[in-house]
């Protein structure tokens, strides 16, 4: 039987769902095979915790039994029958995992049965109990007493089922509050296994969510994914209203207050990113004003409208619950990470069976990247220093200690760009004006490129490009790695590195890998971004580089050389190239587990591997997939990524003497964060 943990709320708005999500993420990222199930719910429709688990993980827990059925069984006195059904529905989850998180039933003001049902589930599932509550404004001693009283409901003779308590909404950044709470709980023989600080950003809904909740009509859709950090009710004239028109605000104003509308649009055109505009009293803007506002709308500014009076609309917005909607993947992942980070890591480590092997799940891999990057403590230069996603990624890296980022750009432009997306750059982020440092690199660039006839003027002209400046900073040891490409092509990003960094000793070429976060494991694909048609020597080089990358990131390399045929079942130049590359790689690294040619299914699926290549040490269990050419590699990685909704991290470049990595121009902020982490780790292992 797996270890079963039942999360039980103590009080209203305890943060039960967030805690359950955090436990799943925290266990998954340390390699524990964790499952989830919420057997019973009070809410109609799709149960929210289950929906969020399905949204953010590969898990597919069974549906919850609905509230109407729960009440019907209780009113019929059939609690024991209900528990039998819960156990039966939970059985497939128990069979599939080592640890299972069971989420209890939330209390309500009108339904008083949640305590009885949660107690029955604890017994029926033989579960250890984690009590979950919210500190709010209560004193630590009061919170501890409340949890101690709740603990008495889960006693079996002298044995107490409660193994720990999670307390949410602690004052943000107040370490002393956590210490006092821990001490107060210990006085009642209870353990604090999670002290979760309040984080305002986790409560920010999207404009989409607000519009959906209050039934607003959309006048102009724009970017409905923008986060609403606050509500600006603009009842004053412009000088007073300007105090409230700030980044991230949803401006609430009657549709005929044209002065406020124009002021908001002017602020947007000056770089301030408002969340949106919500017009009240059902009045649409005058057509002439609406026409003037078109440039602001073109920035993605959404406009919604409701028929309510401004005061009524404001009260409805005030009363919205800060719950994560079941389709908000980004916010759900932020909540999961925040809660997982706040849990006692030694407690999590002790939950799994000690003799069970840990797996490298996608969450575990990403967590490992962050921890390895923190330990590396490297300086990474970001030449696209005014690009908004890059700025946000740099701030996140600073907050999480992933790297010491150096932004290249005119300092005024960098800080203005940061202001435009509501960021304050921490002191740990360095801003360097490339124009002020370029001149010192002119002589060295001339020396490095003299074989190409580079003159002083040509070198000076090349150094007007921030990417070349960043590359020279890396070449001369001022920084440890470089990440760019958010607004530049791969060729533009990599060319300076090829010119002045060049390949590492023993490498014939530069190649790339993607870390493919499949549902149950992380594998490596190479080369999917750089070399169009490598010869056998080049393909062998790519295989050896990729195996080295796998080792560096904690993945045991079992290398499959992919072809359209397995073994000797096919013939032709393409198959012969793969066979020859396999031979060369084996010769250069006799200890490496490598085999080829292998078809993809023979390499990836155990049953197919046993059938097609029964004596292969790699077939059916490959962790590194080497494709014969760029056409095959790029097509395969994108097909898997998009069709199977797989997160891919990369491309990570290999073979350079110092780490330089390229971003997709469609990269998300998290993509940039993890690429910076990869680069920091490469700099540490090179």
- 605 and 459 in a common domain: no
181 shares a domain with 37: yes
In a domain, 592, yes or no: yes
Indicate whether 554 and 460 sit together in one domain.
no
Please report whether residue 411 resides in a domain: yes
The number of folded domains in the chain is: 4
Would you state the structure tokens that stand for residue 613, as one six-digit string? 């290549």
Q: Is residue 634, in this structure, part of any structural domain at all?
A: yes
pLDDT, tens digit, for every residue of 548-591? 999 988 899 999 999 998 877 667 888 999 999 999 999 999 99
483-536, pLDDT tens digit by residue? 999 999 888 888 999 999 999 888 889 999 999 988 778 899 999 988 999 999
Work out the pLDDT band at 111, boundaries 50, 70, 90: low
- Are residues 150 and 19 both part of a single domain? yes
CA gap 174, 172 in Å, rounded: 6
Residue 334 belongs to a domain: yes
**Domain-embedded: residue 682:** no
Whole-angstrom distance, CA of residue 276 vs CA of residue 299: 11
Domain end point (choices 500, 523, 542): 500
> pLDDT grade, residue 678 (50/70/90)?
very high
User: Which carries the bigger pLDDT value, residue 287 or residue 111?
Assistant: 287
Beta bridge partners, 253, equal: 279
Asked if 247 and 185 sit in the same domain, the reply is: no
Domain that holds residue 139: 3-201+328-349
Average pLDDT for residues 99-113, to the nearest whole number?
A: 82
188 and 260 fall within a common domain: no
**Taking Cα atoms as reference points, which of 160, 235, 203, 194 lies closest to residue 339?**
194
Q: What is the pLDDT of residue 644?
A: 77
Helix (H/G/I), strand (E/B), else coil: 564: coil
| Claim to verify: residue 10 and residue 148 sit in the same structural domain | yes
By C-alpha distance, which of 384, 406, 496, 481 is closest to 678?
481
How confident is the model over 144-186, as pLDDT tens digits? Answer: 999 999 988 887 655 678 999 999 998 765 667 788 889 999 9
CATH of the domain at 219: 3.40.1390.20
**Long-range pairs, 383-386, Cβ under 8 A, ≥24:** 383/408, 383/434, 383/466, 383/467, 383/469, 383/470, 383/482, 383/484, 384/408, 384/409, 384/466, 384/484, 384/485, 384/486, 384/487, 384/488, 385/409, 385/414, 385/431, 385/466, 386/410, 386/413, 386/414, 386/417
Domain stops at, among 452, 469, 500:
500
Give residue 355's pLDDT. 58
Phi and psi for 237 in degrees, rounded to 5? -70, 170
Instruction: Give pLDDT, residue 247.
Output: 86
Pull the structure tokens for residue 526: 């190479």
Q: Does residue 409 form part of some domain?
A: yes
Are the C-beta atoms of 306 and 284 separated by less than 8 Å?
no
Instruction: Kindly report the pTM of this predicted structure.
Output: 0.72
* Rounded Cα distance, 470 and 476, in Å: 10
438, part of any domain: yes
* CATH code for position 56: 3.40.50.300
Contact present, 42 and 108 (Cβ < 8 Å): yes
pLDDT single digits (tens) 187-221: 999 999 999 999 889 999 999 999 999 999 999 99
Q: Could you identify the residue written with the tokens 């800060």?
A: 322
Mean pLDDT for 260-285 is: 90
The model's confidence at residue 543, banded by pLDDT at 50, 70 and 90, is very high
Interior CA angle at 433 toward 268 and 660, to 5°?
Answer: 95
User: Are residues 140 and 77 part of one domain?
Assistant: yes
Predicted confidence at residue 367, as pLDDT, reads: 80
pLDDT in tens, 346-359: 999 888 766 555 66
Residues 242 and 373 in one domain: no
The most confident of 229-238, 364-373, 482-491, by mean pLDDT: 482-491
Q: 445 in a domain, yes or no?
A: yes
Which residues are within 8 A (CB) of 421 and not within 5 positions of it... i.e. 6 or more apart?
247, 273, 388, 391, 392
Do 33 and 179 fall into the same domain? yes
């Amino acid at each position: 039987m797996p270890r079963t943990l039942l999360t039980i709320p103590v009080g209203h708005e305890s943060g039960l769902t967030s805690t359950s999500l955090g436990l799943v993420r925290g266990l998954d990222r340390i390699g524990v095979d964790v499952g989830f199930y919420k057997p019973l719910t009070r809410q109609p429709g799709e149960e929210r915790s289950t929906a969020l688990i399905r949204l953010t993980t590969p898990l597919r827990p069974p549906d919850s039994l609905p509230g109407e059925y729960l009440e019907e069984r209780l009113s019929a006195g059939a609690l024991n029958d209900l528990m039998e059904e819960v156990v039966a529905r939970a059985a497939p989850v128990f069979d599939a995992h080592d640890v299972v998180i069971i989420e209890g039933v939330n209390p309500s003001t009108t339904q008083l049965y949640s305590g009885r049902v949660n107690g029955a589930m604890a017994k029926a599932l033989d579960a250890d109990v984690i009590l979950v509550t919210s500190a709010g404004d209560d004193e630590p001693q009061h919170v501890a007493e409340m949890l101690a009283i709740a603990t008495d409901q889960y006693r079996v003779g002298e044995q107490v089922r409660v193994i720990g308590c999670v307390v949410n909404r602690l004052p943000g950044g107040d370490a002393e509050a956590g210490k006092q709470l821990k001490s107060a709980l210990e006085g009642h023989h209870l353990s604090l296994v999670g002290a979760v600080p309040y984080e305002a950003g986790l409560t920010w809904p999207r404009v989409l969510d607000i519009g959906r909740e209050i039934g607003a009509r959309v006048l102009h859709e724009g970017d409905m994914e923008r986060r609403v950090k606050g509500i600006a009710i603009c009842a004053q004239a412009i000088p007073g209203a300007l105090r409230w028109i700030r980044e991230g605000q949803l401006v609430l104003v009657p549709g005929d207050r044209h002065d406020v509308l124009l002021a908001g649009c002017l602020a947007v055109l000056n770089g301030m990113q408002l969340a949106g505009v919500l017009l009240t009293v059902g009045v649409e803007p005058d057509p002439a004003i609406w026409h003037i506002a078109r440039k602001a709308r073109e920035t993605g500014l959404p406009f919604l409208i409701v028929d309510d009076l401004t005061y009524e609309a404001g009260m409805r917005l005030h009363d919205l619950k800060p719950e994560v909607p079941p389709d908000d993947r980004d916010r759900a992942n932020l909540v999961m990470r925040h809660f997982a980070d706040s849990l006692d890591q030694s407690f999590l480590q002790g939950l799994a069976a000690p003799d069970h092997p840990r797996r490298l799940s996608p969450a575990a891999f990403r967590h490992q990247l962050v921890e390895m990057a923190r330990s590396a403590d490297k300086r990474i230069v970001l030449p696209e220093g005014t690009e908004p996603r890059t700025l946000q990624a740099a701030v996140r890296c600073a907050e999480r200690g992933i790297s010491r980022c150096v932004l290249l750009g005119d300092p005024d432009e960098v800080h203005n760009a940061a202001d435009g997306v509501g960021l304050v750059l921490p002191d740990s982020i360095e801003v360097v004006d490339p124009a002020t440092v370029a001149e010192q690199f002119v002589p060295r660039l001339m020396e490095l490129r003299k074989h190409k006839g580079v003159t002083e003027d040509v070198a000076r002209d090349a150094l007007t490009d921030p990417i070349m400046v960043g590359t020279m900073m890396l070449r001369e040891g001022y920084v440890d790695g470089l990440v760019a490409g958010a607004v530049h092509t791969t060729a533009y990003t990599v060319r300076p590195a090829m010119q002045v960094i060049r390949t590492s000793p023993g490498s014939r070429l530069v190649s790339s890998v993607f870390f493919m976060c499949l549902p149950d494991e992380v594998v490596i694909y190479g080369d999917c971004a750089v070399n169009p048609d490598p010869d056998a020597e080049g393909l062998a080089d790519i295989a050896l580089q990729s195996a080295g990358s796998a080792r560096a990131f904690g993945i045991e390399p079992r290398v499959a050389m992919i072809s359209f045929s397995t073994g000797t079942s096919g013939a032709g130049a393409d198959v012969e190239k793969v066979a020859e590359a396999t031979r060369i790689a084996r010769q250069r690294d006799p200890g490496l587990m490598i085999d080829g040619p292998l078809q993809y299914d023979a390499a990836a699926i155990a049953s197919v591997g046993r059938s097609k290549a029964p004596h292969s040490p790699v077939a059916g269990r490959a962790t590194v997939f080497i494709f014969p050419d760029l056409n095959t590699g790029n097509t395969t990685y994108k097909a898997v990524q998009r069709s199977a909704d797989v997160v891919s991290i990369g491309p990570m470049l290999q073979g350079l003497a110092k780490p330089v990595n390229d971003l997709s121009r469609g990269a998300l902020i998290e993509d940039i964060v993890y690429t910076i982490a990869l680069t920091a780790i490469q700099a540490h292992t090179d």
